[in-house]
Amino acid sequence: MSQMNPEAVERMNGLIDTFVETNQPYYRRVFGKMMEAPGYRMTVNWAAALLGPIWFGARGLWSWFLGVLVLETLAYIQIGMGLFGDLGRDLRLRAESIGETLALRREQIAAAEESGSGSLDALKRAAEALEVALVDAQAASEAAAASGITFILVGLVLLAIVKGGVAVLANWTLEGQFARWRSDRSVASGWSMTRAAIASGLMGLVVVISVLKFSRPDAFEVLNTFPTNRDWRLNVGDGVQAAFDWTKTSGRGFFDALTFGMRSLLDAIEVVLVGTPWPVVALVIIMLAYLSAGPRVAIFTGAALAYLGLLDFWEKAMTTVALLGAAALISITLGIPLGIYCARRPKVFSVIRPILDFMQSMPSFVYLIPVVAFIGSGKPAGVVATMIFGSPPVIRFTVLGLQQVPETVREAALAFGATPRYLLWRVDLPLAAKTIMAGVNQTILLSLAMVVVASLIGAKGLGEDVLEALQFAAAGQGILAGLAILFCALILDRIVAGRN
């Protein structure tokens, strides 16, 4: 701050005093030094080093609180294990197990001596080996029990390193928070006794529980296993199953109509792709690639289609594209209007967004359970599962694209008398078209990623070949089928992306 004029320095000092609340002369000097040049300037804060996580919590630096808490807890665990930990527990249990086995062998030796069994020598050799192992295990257990000083030293060294790191980083982190606070007064400031009490409680809880768990693992069983009851899961599972059964029975007409519609759409697309002579289909696809992305992509498309045909993947590839096309067509047809609606009504999107998060976060295999329960196996089920997995991107990208339309452009259109319909079709959608098409592209590729998974519930196509290769460890055939799926993905990606 030496380059500031006196009035600016005084204003800055006033802000620093308001922000830190405690030890103001120290922080004036430290922050002034740190503001003289960008980047890190080394300073030492012994109070932060002494208090550790509590200092960061009291200052509202909770992310740093968690990091320092974890590191200090590791050090305290080492110290606790050295002071009162049962260090030879595992080796002692191993020695006890060996001792039990040795006692059994001795009983077998006594029985063999009485009966004159021919296995007597083998039993004696086994007993001798066990005796040696028992002596070694007992010695190792005693050595481990006597190694407490090593754990204490390691813990103290680790704690000293953490404290040193905190000392030299604390002011730097606080100055960064001060910079954020100057532009946003909702950022935590000052020294809060409430935050300090919360940080102290959390630190005490974490350290005590962790030290007890690692030093005395047998003392508190509740720390080893989560308190639960297996009947709870069984009862909840039965309830979910009952809900599935009721839904399937009550909505039988809806699910039958959905299955019929999916199957009809699939059959229509398969007639076009599979029933049409292959030269016609190949020519149309190559022409689409040429018109959309240029001659290079058209040449690549021709080579990829030749690969599919020469290696006998043509029909299955077209079946795969039909399934993908049905799922993507429905996803895009429903997703773009829904995205437009959500973009204009943020409250609706706040409800839809968690559902989209759920659809994208849930593992794809889990989709198959309700889909098979309600629709059954086969291609329609594969279409529905693919839709669930592939729909979120087109909805999200549509919302994002419309939200990124400059407000000044919309205001200008409205000023010239644009109606809401004109504003949507002639202003919003054209300006958001690239973002929306990126969502369409992602939906298509994610739908293709479900090909192998959908084959688990009877969806035909290239995924079936990959699944068979996995089942029979046919690496060569699996690689060839995987490349076929890859080429389908690349063709669709380039056609949809165009020359971008």
Q: What is the pLDDT of residue 194?
A: 93
Per residue, the 3-state secondary structure of the chain, as one string, reads CCCCCHHHHHHHHHHHHHHHCCCHHHHHHHHHHHCCCCCCCCCCCHHHHHHCHHHHHHCCCHHHHHHHHHHHHHHHHHHHHHHHCCCCHHHHHHHHHHHHHHHHHHHHHHHHHHHCCCCHHHHHHHHHHHHHHHHHHHHHHHHHHCCHHHHHHHHHHHHHHHHHHHHHHHHHHHHHHHHHHHHCCCCCCCCCHHHHHHHHHHHHHHHHHHHHHHHCCCCCHHHCCCCCCHHHHHHHHHHHHHHHHHHHHHCHHHHHHHHHHHHHHHHHHHHHHHHCCHHHHHHHHHHHHHHHHCHHHHHHHHHHHHHHHHCCCHHHHHHHHHHHHHHHHHHHHHHHHHHHHHHHCHHHHHHHHHHHHHHHHCCHHHHHHHHHHHHCCCHHHHHHHHHHHHHHHHHHHHHHHHHCCCHHHHHHHHHCCCCHHHHHHHHHHHHHHHHHHHHHHHHHHHHHHCHHHHHHHCCCCHHHHHHHHHHHCCHHHHHHHHHHHHHHHHHHHHHHHCCC
* Residue 499 pLDDT: 57
pLDDT tens-digit series, residues 244-262: 888 888 888 888 888 888 8
pTM over cut 0.85: no
pLDDT for position 383: 84
Residues of the chain under the 70 pLDDT cut? 1-5, 116-118, 145, 498-500
pLDDT of residue 60: 92
pLDDT for the residue numbered 5: 66
**pLDDT of res. 75:** 94
pLDDT of residue 261: 85
